[in-house]
Amino acid sequence: MRVEVRLFALYREQAGTDRLQLELPEGAQVRHAKEALEKRFPNLRLDGGMAAVNQTLAQGETPLKEGDEVAFLPPVSGGQDSFGLTHDPLDLKALVEWATAPEYGAVVSFLGTTRSPNRGEEVAFLEYEAYPGMAEKVMAEIIGEMRARFPLGRVALWHRLGRVDPGEASIAIVVSARHRKEAFAACQYAIDRVKQVLPVWKKEHRPDGSFWVEGFSIEEHRL
């Protein structure tokens, strides 16, 4: 099938075009379009941005059909914040490169990965589920809290959904600032708040069974 791809701002410059036709197999999803574009244009790095299908924001697993318009959008808000949920592997290198600029003297990153064994038991994989619209709103609020507390440059906050195998990353946080003290403090603040208020749930799968791990546990939100 054929879809129409639109690229804006930085992505347009990296690819050297703002519009193109892309051939994809039947049943393809947004993530397949992303992979095909990055293979076709080696300088194009779409991690950290957003996608839209027919002018509606989409996720990596959003299905595509013949004639769809698929737009890839660089980070907005002045290019200072990048956040969201994704089923794709997290690319920490791309996020660090995005957050790095001459005016920032510190870039601090945190990568949360699946641990096995955990509490003495082998973990086959973790499975993450979210309330997407609410989760993205909460992510924006967390970044707003960070900026209210610390003088920061660029902030990235991305969380995986679906299956995450041992050694793979489930969350990536990158913070740049003029000085290392605030960058470290903001990164620590971000992961603590994510654990408290982000509506993302984790199911741990072991060889002998599976169970939900309690999260989203801030006391004032309990029923």
How sure is the predictor about 47, in pLDDT bands with cuts at 50, 70 and 90?
A: confident
Whether residue 89 has a cis bond before it, omega within 30° of 0: no
Question: ∠ at Cα 126 (144, 82), nearest 5°?
Answer: 25
My answer on whether 57 and 33 are in the same domain is: yes
Same domain, 24 and 89: no
Strand 125-130 and strand 56-58: pairing?
unpaired
Of 47, 73, 99, at which residue does a domain stop? 73
- Asked if 14 and 43 touch (Cβ cutoff 8 Å), the reply is yes
Confidence label for 59 from pLDDT (cuts 50, 70 and 90): confident
Q: Range of 111's domain?
A: 77-221
Beta-carbon contacts of 178 under 8 Å, excluding residues fewer than 6 positions away, are 103, 104, 105, 106, 151, 153
Proportion of the chain above pLDDT 70, given as a percent: 93
At 26, which CATH number?
3.10.20.30
Say which CATH number the domain at 166 has: 3.90.1170.40
Q: Are residues 106 and 41 in the same domain?
A: no
CA distances from 163 to 18, 83, 105, 121 (A): 33, 19, 36, 18
- Among 42, 73, 104, identify where a domain stops: 73
Domain termination residue (choose one: 26, 58, 73): 73
**pLDDT tens per residue, range 196-209:** 999 999 999 999 99
Mean local confidence (pLDDT), 109-123: 95
Segment among 42-56, 91-105, 180-194 with least mean pLDDT: 42-56
The reply to whether 87 and 150 lie within a common domain is yes
Task: List the beta strands (DSSP E) in the chain.
Answer: 2-7, 19-23, 50-53, 56-58, 69-73, 81-86, 106-113, 125-130, 155-160, 162-164, 169-177, 200-206, 209-213
Asked if 87 and 137 sit in the same domain, the reply is yes
Asked if residue 193 and residue 151 are part of one domain, the reply reads: yes
Q: For the chain, how many structural domains are there in total?
A: 2
* 31 and 69, same domain (yes or no): yes
**Same structural domain, 184 and 145:** yes
* Res. 216: pLDDT tops 60: no
Q: What is the mean pLDDT of the segment spanning 56-82?
A: 81
Q: How confident is the model at residue 56 (pLDDT cuts 50, 70, 90)?
A: confident
The mean predicted confidence, pLDDT, of the chain is 89
